Structure formats: structure tokens, C-alpha cells
Chain A
């Protein structure tokens, strides 16, 4: 009964949001049926479209997982976008400059760990500012996003620019650093294994370990947690580091599995959409997977919608906002007391 209810409310939110989307499409003067069919076709229409959707789902799921984890501890990590950029930056620096000749067995783990570490450290700045200086993590993580995006822009015009020097982009990662596409697949790369396993790992951490218990205790009531001998500051730092690490990992996977190199505008706002993902998932680590799939489908279908029905692809952000409102407005995600 309980698991049935866990599905019904988010599904309702999605349906209402799509209903609102039809209204927006009519307002834009488009044929809603044609636009939605184009959207669905662009997301799931054939093998290639479907695999592209899954590839887009990966960063959304990983960052959404981190956002959920932090929210469970009462921390708002709005900085997933910046942490993703830092992870991508670190992975590129490691692969193209520091360890270009390493074998795959070393390079791939190092790239992924380096990306996760960079994302964690970037979120760690916000954690430090919050616990040491009382700076709201909401503002600091948002501001750090701007800095991270500019840092990547600087890197691809400067120290990490391709040796040929013609475009503002990095060199391609060496072959040994790329996450391969398993035989029989077109786009889905090896990173999918991590994306499918990590939600279970986070679920175990949150709900079946002492660490998770302390983390959630702080989220439920910092004062009560302190009374029980848990340091809220330490849990907040831990939650932000883990959350940033997941976003950084997403950045490294994006480089190693999809683009192969670093450039500006690497992410179409995955870090922000991930907040909607985590809310639609009701902050549940496993719910993040279907929620990420929904938003990935919107993103990959929006291109087709623009081509076929002439609807600007940014319109899907309206759907995203509506889902967020529905998720919080009708107490789907639950409010912190």
C-alpha cells in the first residue's frame, strides 16, 4: 500500500505538468498533439533516441542522488552544476595533461576518483563557509556555480586548451581514459554501471547504516541530533562532500563517456534540473532513476519538438518548474519541520 502511494503522487505531478505544458503549447501557437508526439519520438522513437535519453539520464541521476542525500540532512546543495564542471575540469586535467600515458586500468579509476574529489572539494568550500562562518549554503553554492563555469571557460582558453590551439576546447582524452560503449549498444557507455549501482549504495548508506541515521537525524532536527550526541556541523560537512562528490563524478563520467573533451557550456543545466529530479523522486535514492529518466526524455525530446513543431526547446524548463511547484506545493516532497 505504501509503495503504491509513493508512485501515485509523483505520477500525478508529471501528468498535471504535461497538462500545463499542453496549455503553454497552445499559447505559443503550436499544435500540442504534434509537439508532444515529436517530443516522445525524440526521446524514445528509435534505438538511438532511446540510448541518447539514457545517456542524458546519467548525470541527472547522479547529481539528483547527491541533492537528495544533502536534502535528507537538511542541506540545500544548489551547486550541482558547478561541482559537475569542477569534476569535468579535474578529469580533463588528469587525462590530457598529468597522466596521458597511463593504462586504462589505472587511468579510468583515477579520472573518476579525481572528478569526484574535485566536486567534493568544491562543495566543501560551501560546507566550510556554512559551519565556520554561518554563510547559507544556498547562496554560496549558487555563487560557486558561476565561478566554476568561468573557471572552465578560462581553462579551455588557457592551460587546458588543445595543443593545436585553434578552438577553446581541451584535447581529446587518451583512448585509455574513455569509458567504452559495450558491444551491441550505440551510445550507452560503461558509466551506466555506476549510475545503476550508486542509488542502491546511497540507499544502504542512508537507511541501513549508522552514518545515514546520523545524517537524517540532523535533517529532521539539528537540535535533537546535537542532544543525542551527533555533531550537526560534521554531518552537514559530510553530506555536502558526498553530494558534491556525486556531482563531480557525473562531470568526470560526462568527459570520459560522452564528450571526450572539455569545452564551455558542457552541461545544459544538469545541476539545476537535478533539483527537480530529486524533488520528483521525493528525495528517495531509488526514485531518482525514474525521475531522471523523465527529465532526460524531456531534454532529448525537446530538440525534436523544436525541429518538427517549432516550439523553442527552452519551453521544457517551464515543465520543469511546474513539476517543482507541484512536488513541494502539494507536500509531495514533505517539508522540513
Chain B
């Protein structure tokens, strides 16, 4: 493979990893019946926390931990309202997104007052020549989710709760506890995905830097028809399309820059048009559960 091909492949991986990690987390939450459109905000919070901790301590490990913790914290807030109080998941998800924009924006200006020199975070090291640590993390995460959902009792409980909370409850599964755990897992994954934007894709933070990746990850779950293999394939497809678009920009191709930037969003809409209707989601997705005595 020539140098351009290698560069394109690498760029594809870098752009696919955040989508794949976030989408796999969302898959688990949705399988438990929790529709979380706040993962965009959880990714953003993860990105900021990873940046702030990474830049001030210089430690990649602490940065990753901070990113995941931030995602988990927002997921807990989301769960408190959506699972705890049966509030509408769409509205709460949007509130999480607004909250993350406000909190990260404010904290960023406190960390870096206007005029201060820029901060940079450390970069995730390679685990083998040419293989970034995030590639390994993604592979492990995907394998874990696949095995968890298909081979473990807890995975079965998650799927049962998403299909029919009533029936699962009758079988003795703790519905609310399972949904809480799945939501927190989704938040941790979103935070990790956000961290990768800072620790691999760039080495800094920009306000609103997730720019819709969380929503694309949501669409990928539908595109993949709730099947992990197809979700990862979808993430690679999207990463590839974005990489190609950046390459075209760099080559100075005669397509206006702003139209090229539309590619991922238009592609997502096209993919949803083709596949969303066919994707059969968990029957109890986004339905509140109230135990009857």
C-alpha cells in the first residue's frame, strides 16, 4: 500500500474509534430499554475532563479516568430523571447536551482565560508500531460488549429488560437497577469516546468539539440494526467517509469547503432513510417501568 493509502487508513481508524466506542455504549443502554440522546453531551464532557486532567497532570491514564468519570456523572444525572422519575428521555437527553455545552464552555474559560497561552494534553501512546492504544481499547470494548450481551446472565438480563420490563420483573430481574447500570455504562463509553477526540484526534479542547458525533453514534445503532458487528462496520464506513472528505479538502478539490463538511450529516440522514425503518429495536425502548405490586 502506498503512503497515501496508509494515511487514509490511519485517518479512518482515528475517526471511527470515537463513533464505535460511543455507539457500543449506546447499544447496551438501548438494549436495556434506555434511549439516551444525551451521549453527545456526555462525549463533550468526557473530552473536556480528559483535556483538563491530561493537560494539568500530563498523565494519559488519569485523563482517561477523568473522561470516563465525567461521562458517568452525566449519565447518572440522566438516569436520576429518566429512570428515577420517569421523565421524558428525549427532553432530558437534550438538557444533558445543553448542560454539557454550558459547563465545559465555562470551565474551559476558567482554565484558560482569554489571552492565556494554549494548553495541550498528552497523547495516547502506541501499543505496537502503528497501532494506537485506542485501537486496542476499542477492540477490547467491542469484544466485551459482544460477549457480555450474548454469553452472560447479566447480558441476558439487560436484553430481557429492554424487550419486556414487565416480564423481566416477573422473572425476578431488577429492572430499574439493570437500566441504571446500562445507562452508566453507556455514559462511561461516551466519556471514553470523547477522551479519544482529545488524546488521539487532537491534543486540545475546542468548545463543542464533538460536533454531532454523539448523534451519528445514535444513528449507527439503528444502521447496525442493534447488531455489534454491523455497528462497528458502520463506524468504519463513517470514519472512512470523513477521512476521505478531509483528504479531498487537503487536496484542494473544487468543492466548497462547507459543502464537504456536510458529508457526515447528509450521509447519516441517507443511512437512516435506508435502514432506520427496518431496524427492529427492543420492544420496551424508551418506555418507563413502574413495578406493580
Q: Which residues of A approach B to under 8 Å, CB–CB?
A: 24, 28-29, 76, 78, 129, 133-136, 138-140, 142-144, 146-147, 150-151, 153-154, 157-158, 272, 275-276, 279, 311-312, 314-322, 324-325, 327-331, 333, 335-336
Contacts and interface: CB of A to CB of B under 8 A. Distances in A.
A29 B99 CA distance: 19
Nearest to A30: B110
Interface of B: 37, 77, 81, 85-88, 90-92, 94-96, 98-99, 101-103, 105-106, 109-110, 207, 211-212, 215, 218-219, 222, 256-259, 261-262, 265-266, 268-269, 272-273, 276-277
B212 A146 contact: yes
Given A134-B276, A158-B256, A335 B95 contact: no
Contact of B276 (A28, A133, A147, A327): A133
Nearest to B273: A133
A30 B276 CA distance: 48
Nearest to A311: B106
Given A317-B102, A321-B99, A328-B91, 8 more contacts: A129-B272, A139-B215, A140-B269, A142-B212, A312-B106, A324-B98, A325-B92, A330-B85
A151 B95 CA distance: 26
B190 to A, nearest CB: 16
B277 A134 contact: yes
Contacts of A272: 94, 98
Nearest to A126: B269
A250 B257 CA distance: 27
A127 B20 CA distance: 29
B269 A143 contact: yes
Contacts of A320: 98, 102
A272 B96 CA distance: 12
B99 A147 contact: no
Contacts of A275: 91, 94
30 contacts: A78-B90, A129-B269, A129-B273, A133-B277, A135-B272, A135-B277, A139-B219, A139-B272, A143-B269, A144-B269, A150-B259, A153-B258, A275-B91, A279-B91, A312-B105, A312-B106, A312-B110, A315-B105, A316-B102, A317-B102, A318-B102, A320-B98, A320-B102, A321-B98, A321-B102, A324-B95, A325-B81, A325-B95, A328-B87, A333-B91
B92 A328 contact: yes
A323 to B, nearest CB: 9
Given A135-B276, A144-B269, A324 B91 contact: yes
Nearest to A156: B258
Contacts of B95: 321, 324-325, 328
Contacts of B102: 314-321
Contact of A157 (B86, B207, B222, B256): B256
Contact of A314 (B81, B101, B256, B268): B101
A133 B222 CA distance: 13
A336 B88 contact: yes
Contacts of B86: 335
A147 to B, nearest CB: 5
Nearest to A320: B98
A328 B91 CA distance: 7
Contact of A328 (B88, B101, B109, B110): B88
B262 A324 contact: no
Contacts of A311: 106
Contacts of A335: 86-88
Given A275-B94, A329-B87, A312 B109 contact: yes
Most A-side CB within 10 Å, residue of B92, B96, B266, B273: B273
